[in-house]
A and B are shown apart, each in its own frame.
Chain A
Amino acid sequence: MRKKIAIFVLIGWVLLIIGDRVDELRVYQGAQMAMYTIALASIVLLTGYSGQVSLGNGAMMAVGGYGAALTLNNLGTPIWFAFLMAIVTASLFGALLGAAAARVSGPYLAGTTLALAVGLPAIANQFAFLGGEPGLLFDVGFPPERFGDEFTQYKWFFWIACFIALIAIFVTSNILSSRFGRTWRAIRGNSLAAELCGVHSARMKVLAFTVSSGLAGLAGAVLAMTISLVAPGAYGLALSFALVTGAVLAGISSLPGVVLGAFILVVIPEISVALADRLGDADKLNNYLPGLIVSVLLILSVIFTPNGPGENLRKHRHKKPAH
């Protein structure tokens, strides 16, 4: 435990140094990467450990984003409390949704979350306090003055995002190596056997979805911070798809892998813009090329390395796969 804390502090220190050395755009992408790291951890927890699929984690992120924005705008609380409320709102919502859909085995959770992601704009338009299509502002404010004039807004975002991501990943890794993580893996492996050992599998599955929703909500608030607003457009189906892709690419049950997945998700738009520039007809390509890259990567990885690149390396080394 003490070793783990030391490692996380070390990573934080390295991140601080990196944040000082690179330019504005990279700092912004760093904040994005921290956001994706949290979001992917929520998918690893849900899919890689408890064996359920959510196709609408983007929608759960939206719930967190709205929760944070409403708290900050209406109550004028400190920022950290807004992020806390993002977790609380999204977990509550996840618990309600999970009580209906995660309780029963089968494709119900996948379908329900997908439905939520598809209907997100309709829901945001329905309730006036969610601000409709343009959404709500989410402004965490300027960096504190004692950091000096050199300290830019994006660097402040980067600091907050990295700090939150480090804590979130630390907590998640502890949850996953605790009794709960083991129980979830047991249910995923064989729910009947787990139930015979006294595990209440339906309840544990709902719990997994609740925790995963809380994490996703936190990621949603971080995303809202980096773009300074919460609007349904930012949390659409494309985001949910990208999250699943990132998690599968990096190994669906590997928590350290989420950093790689987050890196890939940040790089894809960059590659796609460069490609679109070279190929011409920028409008169409800009709209659909990222989606094309994401889905091709998803399909290839789910067919050829469904358990992540790590498994294939292990197989290669041992030749005979151990089961």
Chain B
Amino acid sequence: MQKVIETLLIGLSTGSIYALMSLALVLVWRSTRVVNFAQAGQAMLSTYIGFEIASRSEIFWLGLVFAIAAGALVGAGVDYFFMRVLFKHATSGPAAVVAPVIATLGLLGLIRSIVGLTWGGEFKSIEAPASTDGFSVGDGTIPFSNLDVLIIATVSIILIALAYIFQRTNLGLALRASAYAPEIAQLAGIRTARTRTIGWSIAGAVGGVAGMLVTSNNFLSPYSLDLLLVFGFIAAVIGGLESMVGSVIGALVLGIGLTFILNYVGTSLVFIGGFSVLILVLLIKPDGIMAKGKARRA
């Protein structure tokens, strides 16, 4: 029984990090109709900047703030200098549909090589902001630690802040409107292009947090966030790619499920488990768990 509970708790902490990554993907998908595979690269770049600050100042939180800022800047930059140019050029012909996705792939490669050339390929680690020793329960300790509590708390704060922005502010209304019906939003006086850039920068910032948190009890390398991207994508697919609430629920379910596989079956099956979830969701409920009736065609 104790093992079940501790697996649930660890899964919650893992899943909450996935939630951030999948939110970043969903935010961009809603506004731009592109699954931003470069998100792993953007998050990685932000995390390296956060790592640099955190290891110089020895304050994790300062690093996190810088990672958020860097993520927001990089996200906005990618949309402003890259996606806008791309949508201006690639408008017709056989490649028009696929160009944006391929471009994000190129961007992922570009950021990866720049990071590799700057910091090198060796593993880096960030000093965790809280103890990673498990809590003691009765006469034993469980793997659930202060750090996990901190991760869940941080993610909760960010989710609440995002929910507030999206539901209660004019900016959130503009973001939702231009994602749902860009032309009508434009007619209503919203600067949709600028709103989209803001959406990209929010996604970038959220990705930066995900990178910092996942690195706080793991290693950082130019490839270390690829798996986070994949799990974030799977979580987003569970939520139907459209729904932010759905992607968070999907991420938590995925995180808990994969932690159960990790604790009860073995490490090596974690990826295969996640991949099977993706295939099953696509086969059974391709519109995701939040789909109501017929979803609109992408």
Interface residues of A (CB under 8 A from B): 47-49, 51-53, 55, 97, 99-101, 103-108, 110-112, 114-116, 118-119, 122-123, 125-126, 185, 188, 237, 241, 244-245, 248, 252-253, 284-285, 287-289, 291-292, 294-296, 298-299, 302-304, 306-308, 311, 321, 323
Contact = CB atoms under 8 A, between A and B. Distances in A.
Contact of A244 (B29, B97, B102, B286): B102
Interface centre among B95, B110, B112, B120, by most chain A C-beta atoms within 10 angstroms, is B95
Given A105-B298, A299-B103, A303-B90, A112 B282 contact: yes
A253 B98 CA distance: 12
Given A298-B106, A299-B107, A252 B113 contact: no
Given A115-B234, A295-B113, A298-B109, 19 more contacts: A97-B279, A100-B283, A106-B241, A111-B37, A111-B237, A119-B271, A119-B274, A126-B268, A126-B272, A284-B116, A284-B120, A288-B113, A288-B117, A292-B110, A292-B117, A296-B106, A302-B86, A304-B89, A307-B94
Interface centre among B113, B114, B272, B278, by most chain A C-beta atoms within 10 angstroms, is B113
Contacts of B279: 97, 100-101, 112
A264 to B, nearest CB: 15
A306 B95 contact: yes
B292 interface: no
B97 A299 contact: no
Contacts, number: 165
B23 interface: no
Interface in B17-66: 29, 34-35, 37
Interface of A is mostly: helix
Contacts of B98: 47, 51-53, 252
Nearest to A290: B113
B233 A111 contact: yes
Given A112-B278, A288-B116, A122 B90 contact: no
B57 to A, nearest CB: 26
B117 A295 contact: no
Nearest to A297: B106
Nearest to A106: B298
B214 to A, nearest CB: 15
A97 B283 CA distance: 10
Contacts of B233: 111, 114-115
Given A244-B105, A292-B110, A299-B107, A104 B90 contact: no
Interface residues of B, number: 56
24 contacts: A48-B94, A99-B283, A100-B283, A111-B35, A112-B278, A114-B37, A115-B234, A118-B230, A119-B230, A122-B270, A123-B272, A125-B268, A237-B226, A241-B109, A245-B106, A248-B102, A289-B117, A291-B112, A291-B116, A296-B110, A298-B106, A303-B89, A303-B90, A308-B95
Contacts of B95: 48, 248, 252-253, 302, 306-308
Contacts of A126: 268-269, 272
B278 A291 contact: no
Contacts of B93: 306-307, 311
